[in-house]
A and B are shown apart, each in its own frame.
Chain A
Amino acid sequence: MSEDLLAEITESVIGGEPETVIALTRQALEMGLEPMEIINQGLVPGMDIAGEKFSRGEFFLPHLLIAAKGMQNAMELLEPELVARKQTFKSVGTVVIGTVQGDIHEIGKSLVGTMLSANGFKVHDLGVDVRIENFVSKIEETRADIVGLSALLTTTMIGQREVIEALVEAGLRDRVKVLVGGAPVSQSWAEEIGADGYAEDATGAIQVAQKLMGAKS
């Protein structure tokens, strides 16, 4: 019975029905299933399968993102239950991401954020046109492992350097890895400003983020 329900949750994640994912998750809680069980045996397998389908070219980006949305919605429902049980779902790492000040390009940054969370990271997306101090305070507040800085304009990429400088000033630079990206950004720019990683697209961002987490632990 509970196995059937967990399988249904998995299916609804893959099938791209975020509303159903929520409804089934709620039902599972009401039936007395443990939140951890729901996550590990219902949601995560769904996300894994969606990811595999995407790599094989069977799924397109919207399929994957809708699956991630379903998972995310369910996680929000489960979070308070975990807290009540003094449990935490161990994420791969915590990421703060945003587009730097003066820049409103959102698509690439959000894609990177969503793909990271689909791959087990806990992501705090600050949006676009983010002030330096907002990056700093969010990193401090969430004890983030990685900060992702997106810049699409040649006039705003300088903002990536400024965030790094602010992190040094706030004494946080050793605690957080800096990942940069966006159209005018390159590996050489990343090196020039002393970032820890650069990726040209979302898939690359996941790989670099995973590597940075490895380097941290």
Chain B
Amino acid sequence: MSTSVSSISNPKLSLNILTEGDIRQIHSATLEVIESVGVKFPSPKALDILKAHGAKVDHETMVARISGDVIETCLAKAPPIFTLAAIDPDLDLPLDGNHSYLGTDGCGVEIIDAFSGECRRSNKQDVYDVARVADDLDAIAFHWVPISAQDCPPESRGLHELEAIWTVSKKHAQTETILDERQMRAAIEMAALLAGGKGELRKRPLLSIMQCTISPLAHDTGSLEAGLIAAEAGLPVGFMTMASCASTGPTTLAGNLVVGNAEVISALALMQMAYPGCPVYYAAAQTAMDLRTGAYTGGGPEDFLFGAATNLLADFYNVPLSMGAFATGAKEPNWQAAVDNSFSSFMAVSTLSDMLLGAGLLHGSRIFSYEMLLMDAEIWSILHAMFKGIDVNEETLALDAIREVGPGGTFLTHSHTVEHLGQLWLPTLMDRRTYSAWQVKRDGAREWALSRARQILSQEPLESLDPALKIEFEKIIETVEQG
């Protein structure tokens, strides 16, 4: 079990991607869209709340037009800072604008089996196993449900997935697979048991919720209603736009940001209308459609730019951001995967996006690979080292050491060298051997990543969940299954 998480904080690198003026223009365009075009909220419950707050509601089309003032006033109620609590408080994740955390990706549909290598449909045991490996990695700060527990009934699947994760890990969990009121209430009940009561859960939310918007300019009934229930219980709720250039959003990147922004902030405003001051976050994974096939790309320069730009919007609204990164479309952990995942994560961290999703999936978030998970963790460790930047001070300028070593000498044996060795990055998956050493097995990152995962999986599972709670969880799940 990991006892710490590796977050990126106090970054020394930054990126200028949008000016303050740009952000203001995107913001005003967004308000104009929400006010004049409107956003579809296909939930009578949501429409009633919006109407009570002055929105113009068309009950037939379910489109609400909300004035810019109302949106701004509501957003101002959202807490700028809150903590994603972990079962082990040492693993808490303060979302204070000064940290980037990496989570696993979700929710895949197939898994490349760690032992047989077969790509097959995922099940509950896989959720449990992936959580064990993710728990072991310091780079992974929180869990998303990584893959679907397809051997469990659809009506309770989201709960089985959470149970599997909580059985073996004390890190924070975030889920995107709970889309209906009944499962949401049950998930809250489970989380409350874990936290020691509903009041405790509100103080220390061990679970956070992610819902999607439907680009362009619409929301989903189940997602809205489940989101409202989570917000009522004080669980952090985020709404994710996946506006895609040229299909569900304009081709132009700025226009795409406007469409996605309108969806996200209209949903966050709704949460604030219903439960003022409830913790909410911005979530996004915009992309560009593949021009030849219409496919979801999950990589490419547009994705990378969105990755950096979106946090500026979230900062403007003073709420944390959960940003889709590491979402390569590659079919194996290969060159494309490394390019996609390095750029996307670099860009998102460059503006200090609070949460990054997510490590481990291939084929546009569809296939889980242990190799990819370990490789993504290594990319994270490179970022961690890079964003420390270059410290310039008396000690790091090393004048004394330079003087003592002098022309033609060596730093290898100097005490200054040894004192600062810890600052140099050490790979676990990069091949820095000789050519002949490589020739023996012609192995590399993929084999090493897999063997590390197998090693973790071969250990006796450490179930940290109290068996009495597990029994309670099973009862709750059973009740949901019995309708």
Contact = CB atoms under 8 A, between A and B. Distances in A.
Q: Do A and B bind each other?
A: yes
A61 B289 contact: yes
| Residue of A104, A202, A203 with highest tally of chain B CB at under 10 A | A104
B292 A61 contact: yes
Contacts of B295: 201
A107 B248 contact: yes
Contacts of B107: 154
A77 interface: no
Main secondary structure of the interface of B (DSSP, over half): loop
Interface in A68-109: 102, 104, 107-108
A156 B222 CA distance: 14
B222 to A, nearest CB: 8
Interface in B83-126: 107, 109-110, 121
Interface in B332-347: none
Nearest to A152: B109
A60 B292 contact: yes
A184 interface: yes
A217 interface: no
A141 B157 CA distance: 36
B236 to A, nearest CB: 23
A158 B151 CA distance: 12
A57 B292 contact: yes
Contacts of A102: 222
A201 B293 contact: yes
Contacts, number: 44
Given A62-B246, A104-B214, A202 B109 contact: no
B294 A155 contact: no
Contacts of B222: 102
Contacts of A57: 292
A104 B42 CA distance: 12
B429 to A, nearest CB: 29
Interface string A41-70: 000000000000000010011100000000
A91 B291 CA distance: 28
A155 B154 contact: yes
A57 B294 CA distance: 13
Instruction: State which size class the interface on A falls in.
Output: 10 to 19
B150 interface: yes
Interface residues of B, number: 23
B294 A202 contact: yes
| Residue of A61, A107, A154, A183 with highest tally of chain B CB at under 10 A | A154
Interface string B363-379: 00010000000000000
Interface in B131-174: 148, 150, 154, 157
A111 interface: yes
B294 A111 contact: yes
Given A107-B247, A107-B248, A183-B366, A154 B150 contact: yes
A60 B150 contact: no
Contacts of A156: 154
A158 B293 CA distance: 26
B220 interface: yes
A155 B109 contact: no
Contacts of B246: 61-62
A104 B294 contact: no
Interface in B43-66: none
A59 to B, nearest CB: 9
A125 B291 CA distance: 23
Interface string B165-204: 0000000000001000000000000000000000000000
Contacts of A155: 148, 154, 157, 177
A12 B349 CA distance: 47
B154 A158 contact: yes
B260 to A, nearest CB: 15
Contacts of A60: 291-292
B109 A61 contact: no
A104 B220 contact: yes
A11 B189 CA distance: 63
B294 A154 contact: no
Contact of B109 (A111, A183, A201): A183
Interface of A: 57, 60-62, 102, 104, 107-108, 111, 154-156, 158, 183-184, 201-203
Interface of B: 107, 109-110, 121, 148, 150, 154, 157, 177, 214, 220, 222, 244, 246-248, 289, 291-295, 366
Given A61-B246, A154-B107, 14 more contacts: A61-B289, A61-B292, A61-B293, A61-B294, A104-B214, A104-B220, A108-B294, A154-B109, A155-B154, A183-B109, A183-B366, A184-B110, A184-B148, A202-B294
20 contacts: A60-B292, A61-B292, A61-B293, A61-B294, A107-B244, A107-B294, A111-B294, A154-B109, A154-B148, A154-B157, A155-B154, A158-B154, A183-B109, A183-B366, A184-B109, A184-B110, A184-B121, A201-B295, A202-B293, A202-B294
